[in-house]
């Protein structure tokens, strides 16, 4: 599933390669696009900051399709290769006039199903089915989306089955990873991802994307607990608990059948920058931060920029801590006509339609995934159960807190002065009872010219 904000600034790209001593495996980089600070095109006020004009972070990788070099979002939350080539013509291996529309958490793409040679690192898929989009929305400044989940969730395969029959669909319509593993049968059926954390003001950082083996620094992931994927359409794992300051949060019963009581199902989705959780879980996290204030109008939390809490997610008995930098993000805009900075909740209210989006109770996107090295394993054969193995990259909260203090202070020193949450949301709510915020029109006056902030950031 894809949900990223569109980049305004044409963010710098990193060009970092990881050399990997794994025979047969191919590793290439995951580039970060965007930076951790959002710019508000106008006032910072309750209810209005949803309209940020700068982006969150999205993670891209380079591929070659039919001779074209492309930059695509790496998306473990969707299945198909979906592209908007803007009139460029790849060399096709086959084509159809079967038209489909792919909808994502944000945006959709319409076009025909075509086929072309796909190169991913050292690997070549001879004839990869893809959506050759002619109309698209919200792909940002990328060429499209590389879906990294399962055939079962593939719109392309479903439509090929309808038009050409099941057998032809199975032969022609594999999504990229199943296509590669069907063609290269000796290759271990897995890919690994480690998403980098940039400095908040920059967009360059090393990341890992490797197919068919583990990064040399994370060989130990092979002995981590195997967490089965319990939904056919997503990398969906049973989560033991979410802890805030060591205390487990009580979720409602999972909507996935067979999940033990007290546990819920989390989809691991690299295409989702800001992880959506059930609203009470978001409230539990942010109400634990002293000075945080809920903005009922915007359904979001303002957080003191230098404050944090201890959040962790437990899978297979392993506790994964979330770096404080992944809990809130600075936004810059105006309040009372003055340039100001405030900080918002990174973990957000889940608002996806439960009928359209199935197979999970919550989504752990990039703000969680930056804290793990994750190996996504399809299993030995096409009938095996897929699973994920994870090791932490945020092992020590004391160190993480120190990094947060240093890094956040450095960021804030480059931005306008901060305001306390209570100055934005008229009444601070720290003990769970919500009050709506009220704004006089006089509070909101002048929009800061955007370019001045961009100059500040670059
Ligand atoms: C990916 O492609 C972009 C655009 O062609 C290029 O600037 C960048 O260096 C490439 N990144 C890598 C890691 O090759
Ligand atoms: C090419 O696509 C058509 C459908 O448009 C399909 O019937 C045919 O089998 C495909 N040919 C090959 C060689 O894959
Ligand atoms: C549990 O479900 C009820 C009813 O739908 C809802 O109001 C409440 O917010 C949910 N609680 C959690 C923790 O998701």
In this predicted model, what pLDDT tens digit does every residue of 135-169 receive, in sequence order?
887 777 789 999 999 999 899 999 999 999 999 99
Ligand 3 centre to CA of 291 (Å) is 25
Residue 14 has pLDDT above 50, yes or no: no
When the pLDDT of each residue in the chain is averaged and rounded to a whole number, the result is 83
What is the per-residue pLDDT for 207? 82
Q: Is the CB of 252 under 6 A from ligand 1?
A: no
How far is residue 31's CA from residue 14's CA, in Å, rounded to a whole number? 6
Nearest ligand 1 atom to alpha carbon 16: 13
CA-proximal residue: ligand 1, atom 11 (nearest): 15
Higher-confidence residue of 382 and 235: namely 235
Give the integer Cα–Cα distance in Å for 10 and 282: 31
pLDDT at 44 > cutoff 90:
no
Q: How far is the CA of 62 from the centre of ligand 1 (A)?
A: 6
For 442, counting Cβ atoms within 10 Å of its Cβ (0-12 exposed, 13-18 middle, 19+ buried), the class is exposed
Q: Which ligand is nearest to the CA of 349?
A: 3
Instruction: Give distance in angstroms: CA of 252 to centre of ligand 3.
Output: 6
- What is the pLDDT at residue 92? 98
Task: Kindly give the pairing relationship between strand 276-277 and strand 208-211.
Answer: unpaired
- Sign of the dihedral through C-alpha 108, 110, 112, 114: negative
C-alpha to C-alpha distance for 68 and 214, rounded to whole angstroms: 28
Residue ranges of E strands in 358-413: 362-364, 372-377, 387-392
- C-alpha 122 chain-centroid distance: 25
Residue with tokens 């969906």: 236
- In the predicted structure, residue 286 carries a pLDDT above the cut 70: yes
Q: Is the pLDDT of residue 43 over 90?
A: no
Q: What is the rounded average pLDDT of the residues 391-403?
A: 97
Please name which ligand lies nearest the alpha carbon of 280: 3
Q: Are 389 and 373 in contact (CB under 8 A)?
A: no
Q: Looking at ligand 3, which atom is closest to the CA of residue 249? A: 13
CA distance 10 to 110: 25
Cα(441) to ligand 2 centroid in Å equals 62
The predicted-structure confidence for 190-209, as pLDDT tens digits, reads as follows 999 999 887 777 766 668 89
Would you state the pLDDT for residue 424?
87
Q: Is the CB of 62 under 6 A from ligand 1?
A: yes
Q: Look at residue 206 in the predicted model and tell me its pLDDT.
A: 66
Q: Is 384 helix (H, G, I), strand (E, B) or coil?
A: coil
Residue of 201, 203, 146 lying closest to 31 (CA atoms): 203
CA of 350 to the centre of ligand 3 (A): 12
Given this model, what pLDDT does residue 292 score? 97
* pLDDT at residue number 46: 55
Asked whether 59 and 32 are in contact (CB, 8 A), the reply is yes
Least-confidence region, from 64-68, 305-309, 382-386: 382-386
- CA 97 to ligand 2: nearest atom: 5
C-alpha separations of 452 from 180, 202, 333, 395, 455 in Å = 47, 17, 11, 38, 5
Confidence band, pLDDT 50/70/90 cuts, at residue 117: very high
- On the question of pLDDT at 389 being above 90, the answer is yes
* CATH class (in words) of the domain with range 26-425: mainly beta
**Domain parsing of the chain, residue ranges:** 26-425
The DSSP symbol for 274 reads S
* Atom 10 (ligand 2) nearest CA: 94
What does the pLDDT read at residue 421? 94
Residues 322 and 243: their CA atoms lie apart, in Å, by 10
Q: pLDDT at position 251, please?
A: 98
Range with the poorest average pLDDT among 129-133, 280-284, 331-335, 406-410: 331-335
At residue 184, does pLDDT exceed 60?
Answer: yes
Give the mean pLDDT of 257-286: 95
Per-residue model confidence (pLDDT) at position 335: 83
User: Which pLDDT score, from 0 to 100, does residue 10 have?
Assistant: 25
Ligand 3, atom 7, lies closest to the CA of 280
- Tell me what pLDDT residue 453 has: 26
Percent of all residues in the chain with a pLDDT value above 90, rounded to a whole number: 63
Q: Is the pLDDT of residue 40 over 90?
A: no
Mutate to test the pocket of ligand 3, among 276, 280, 284, 360 (most ligand atoms within 8 A of CB): 280
Confidence check: pLDDT of 276 > 60: yes
pLDDT score for 55: 53
Q: Give the mutation target among 10, 14, 15, 30 for probing the ligand 1 site: most ligand atoms within 8 A of CB.
A: 15
Q: pLDDT tens for residues 402-446?
A: 999 999 999 999 999 999 999 888 643 333 333 322 222 222 212
Tokens linked to 96: 């159809």
Give the distance (Å) from ligand 1 centre to CA of residue 207: 14
User: Ligand 3 pocket by C-beta < 6 Å: which residues?
Assistant: 251-252, 278, 280
Rounded to whole angstroms, the Cα distance separating 216 from 364 reads 25
Ligand 1 centre from 31 Cα, in Å? 8
Q: What is the pLDDT of residues 196-249, one digit of tens each?
A: 887 777 766 668 899 999 999 999 999 999 999 999 989 999 999 999 999 999
Nearest residue to 56 (alpha-carbon basis) of 169, 150, 197, 222: 197
CA of 253 to the centre of ligand 2 (A): 46
Q: What is the pLDDT of residue 28?
A: 67
- Band of residue 36 on the pLDDT scale cut at 50, 70, 90: low
Task: Please give the residue that has the higher pLDDT: either 53 or 73.
Answer: 73
pLDDT for residue 203: 67
Ligand 2 pocket member 94 (CB < 6 A):
yes
Can you give the pTM of this predicted structure? 0.86
**Band of pLDDT at residue 315, cut at 50, 70 and 90:** very high
Percent of the chain whose pLDDT exceeds 70 = 80
Mean pLDDT along residues 106-129 = 92
């Amino acid at each position: 599933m894809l949900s990223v904000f569109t980049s305004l600034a044409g963010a710098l790209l990193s060009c970092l390669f990881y050399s990997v001593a794994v025979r047969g495996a191919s590793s290439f980089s995951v580039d970060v696009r965007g930076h951790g600070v959002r710019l508000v095109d106008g006032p910072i006020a309750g209810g209005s900051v949803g309209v940020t004009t700068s982006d969150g972070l999205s993670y891209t990788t380079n591929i070659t399709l039919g001779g074209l070099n492309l930059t695509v979002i790496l998306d473990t939350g969707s299945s198909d290769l979906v592209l908007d080539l803007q009139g460029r013509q790849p060399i096709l291996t086959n084509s159809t006039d079967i038209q489909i529309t792919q909808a994502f958490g944000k945006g959709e793409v319409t076009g025909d199903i075509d086929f072309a040679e796909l190169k991913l690192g050292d690997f070549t898929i001879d004839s990869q089915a893809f959506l050759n989009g002619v109309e698209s929305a919200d792909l940002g400044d990328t060429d499209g989306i590389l879906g990294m989940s399962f055939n079962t969730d593939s719109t392309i395969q479903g439509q090929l089955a309808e038009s050409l029959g099941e057998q032809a669909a199975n032969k022609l319509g594999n999504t990229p990873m199943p296509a590669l593993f069907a063609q290269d049968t000796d290759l271990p059926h897995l890919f690994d991802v480690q998403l980098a954390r940039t400095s908040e003001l920059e967009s360059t950082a090393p990341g890992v994307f490797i197919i068919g083996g583990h990064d040399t620094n994370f060989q130990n992931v092979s002995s981590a607990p195997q967490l089965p994927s319990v939904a056919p359409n997503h990398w969906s794992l049973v989560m033991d608990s979410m802890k805030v300051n060591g205390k487990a949060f009580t979720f409602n019963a999972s909507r996935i059948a067979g999940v033990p009581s007290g546990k819920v199902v989390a989809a691991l989705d690299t295409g989702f920058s800001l992880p959506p959780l059930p609203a009470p879980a978001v409230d539990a996290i942010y109400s634990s931060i002293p000075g945080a204030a809920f903005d009922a109008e915007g359904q979001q939390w303002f957080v003191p920029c230098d404050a944090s809490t201890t959040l962790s997610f437990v899978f297979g008995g392993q506790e994964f801590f979330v770096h404080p930098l992944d809990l809130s993000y600075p936004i810059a805009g105006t309040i009372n006509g003055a340039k100001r900075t405030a900080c918002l909740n990174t973990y957000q209210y889940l608002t996806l339609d439960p009928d359209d989006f199935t197979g999970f109770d919550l989504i752990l996107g990039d703000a969680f995934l930056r804290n793990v090295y994750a190996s996504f394993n399809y299993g030995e054969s096409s009938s095996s159960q897929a699973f994920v193995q994870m090791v932490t990259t945020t092992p020590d909260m004391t160190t993480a807190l120190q990094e947060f203090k240093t890094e956040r202070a450095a960021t804030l020193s480059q931005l306008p002065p901060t305001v306390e949450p209570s100055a934005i949301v008229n009444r601070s709510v720290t003990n769970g009872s919500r009050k709506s915020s009220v704004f006089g029109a006089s509070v909101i006056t002048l929009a800061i010219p955007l370019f001045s902030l961009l100059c500040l950031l670059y």
